[in-house]
């Protein structure tokens, strides 16, 4: 439904959640939302993509059992399209984005709304705390929570409250969303960063509160992880094309790693075939130094305390370079050609194991 811009929406909370192939996670995510203790009206709007694993049937059952749950269609399956459909259908003054692959901590919504009021911010986010079950997913989760894995963004483990570049998920004022124009539906990944850029450019504040915590369940297989990171990297490259240096410097480390790897492979072939020899070969060998340092870093991360059992540590040796190289490769393609129709295919046709 469309809102009359001449009237502010009534006080309350509209939780919005895009959903696609989340059979193993949706019920837990919904329960964590409906368990939030608030003294204002609440609704949860699920934007349903064309799931193939029974997720839509679960969503229909949940909606039939609780009148607070409402459903809207997202046939394109794109996250920003689904978010916008859910936001437009929402009735209340505060919009809280939630992920079907995550769970809100108790008191999350109440605390976030208090922070909105206390700071005067227009969007508030907290810490994304990744969790895993099997050794592979545990390895991914540990790297998500580490600055080595995802570059040290505040919402991956920051401890200091204050203004931020972006916000994980986001607890947002509906009037500000209407002012800046909701999510950009041409951006398939990184849509939250771009929205927060517009919020800040409009003179509003984005705020990080480390007392807010959301549990996030990463991808469960190596192939899906690689697909996810390549798509995310491609869209970050697209954002660099559109917004240039407004992107943080940390985003450029993975593509540099990819380029160094490509150069090292070429030099290695030239050395093995004798095309490159003598002093020139010696000088060219300098390219191996940063790669050797990176390899030592990967080993050190896998061997560090808290790395889990032997299987989780072995997975870490593969997962960390996969995250960086897949993201970096996607980034280079996004910068050179644009992201085009790149989508995160890691959710398509999945059959997630239900959470215990």
pTM score of the predicted model: 0.85
Which residue in 187, 339, 321, 343 sits closest to 254, CA to CA? Answer: 321
Phi, psi of 355 (to 5 degrees): -70, 150
Taking residues 131-160, report their average pLDDT.
81
Which band of pLDDT confidence, cut at 50, 70 and 90, is reported for residue 332?
very high
Q: What distance in Å separates the CA atoms of residue 172 and residue 181, rounded to the nearest whole number? A: 13
Which band of pLDDT confidence, cut at 50, 70 and 90, is reported for residue 354?
very low
- The per-residue pLDDT for range 88-129, each reduced to its tens digit, is 999 999 999 999 989 999 999 999 999 999 999 999 999 998
Which structural domains are found in the chain, ordered by start?
13-218 (3.90.550.10), 241-347 (no CATH)
* Average pLDDT score, the chain: 90
Bridge partner residues of 171 (DSSP)? 96, 124
Q: Name 244's Cβ contacts closer than 8 Å, sequence gap at least 6.
A: none
The answer to whether residue 152 scores a pLDDT higher than 70 is: no
- The per-residue pLDDT for range 195-207, each reduced to its tens digit, is 999 999 999 999 9
The answer to whether residue 153 scores a pLDDT higher than 70 is: no
The answer to whether residue 4 scores a pLDDT higher than 50 is: no
- 112 and 210 in contact (C-beta within 8 Å)? no
Which band of pLDDT confidence, cut at 50, 70 and 90, is reported for residue 151?
low
- The per-residue pLDDT for range 304-320, each reduced to its tens digit, is 999 999 999 999 999 99
Q: Name 4's Cβ contacts closer than 8 Å, sequence gap at least 6.
A: none
Q: What distance in Å separates the CA atoms of residue 209 and residue 229, rounded to the nearest whole number? A: 26
- The per-residue pLDDT for range 184-240, each reduced to its tens digit, is 999 988 899 999 999 999 999 999 999 998 999 898 899 999 999 999 999 999 999
Give pLDDT, residue 156: 52
Which band of pLDDT confidence, cut at 50, 70 and 90, is reported for residue 3?
very low
Highest mean pLDDT range out of 1-5, 7-11, 259-263?
259-263
């Amino acid at each position: 439904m469309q809102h009359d811009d001449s009237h502010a929406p009534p006080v309350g909370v509209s939780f919005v959640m895009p959903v696609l192939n989340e059979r193993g996670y949706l019920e837990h995510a919904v329960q964590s939302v409906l368990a939030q203790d608030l003294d204002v009206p609440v609704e949860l709007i699920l934007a349903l993509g064309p799931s193939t694993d029974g997720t839509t049937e679960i969503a229909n059952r949940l909606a039939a059992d609780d009148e607070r749950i409402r459903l809207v269609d997202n046939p394109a399956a794109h996250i920003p399209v689904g978010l916008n459909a859910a936001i437009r259908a929402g009735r209340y003054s505060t919009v809280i984005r939630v992920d079907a692959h995550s769970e809100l901590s108790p008191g999350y919504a109440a605390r976030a709304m208090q922070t909105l009021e206390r700071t005067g911010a227009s969007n508030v986010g907290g810490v994304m705390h990744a969790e895993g079950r099997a050794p592979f997913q545990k390895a991914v989760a540990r790297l998500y929570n580490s600055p080595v894995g995802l570059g040290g963004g505040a919402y991956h483990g920051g401890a200091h409250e204050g203004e931020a570049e972006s916000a994980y998920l986001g607890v947002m004022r509906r009037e500000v969303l209407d002012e800046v124009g909701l999510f950009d539906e041409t951006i398939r990944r990184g849509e939250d960063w771009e929205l927060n850029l517009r919020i800040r450019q409009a003179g509003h504040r984005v705020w990080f509160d480390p007392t807010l915590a959301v549990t996030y369940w990463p991808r469960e297989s190596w192939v899906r992880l690689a697909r996810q990171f390549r798509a995310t990297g491609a869209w970050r490259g697209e954002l660099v094309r559109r917004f240039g240096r407004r992107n943080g410097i940390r985003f450029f480390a993975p593509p540099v790693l990819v380029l160094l790897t490509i150069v090292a492979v070429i030099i290695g072939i030239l050395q093995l075939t004798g095309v490159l020899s003598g002093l020139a070969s010696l000088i060219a060998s300098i390219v191996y130094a940063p790669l050797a340092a990176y390899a030592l870093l990967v080993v050190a991360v896998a061997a560090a305390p808290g790395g889990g059992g032997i299987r989780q540590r072995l997975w870490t040796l593969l997962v960390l370079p996969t995250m960086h190289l897949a993201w970096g490769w996607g980034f280079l393609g996004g910068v050179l050609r644009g992201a085009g129709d790149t989508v995160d295919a890691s959710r398509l046709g999945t059959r997630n194991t239900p959470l215990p």
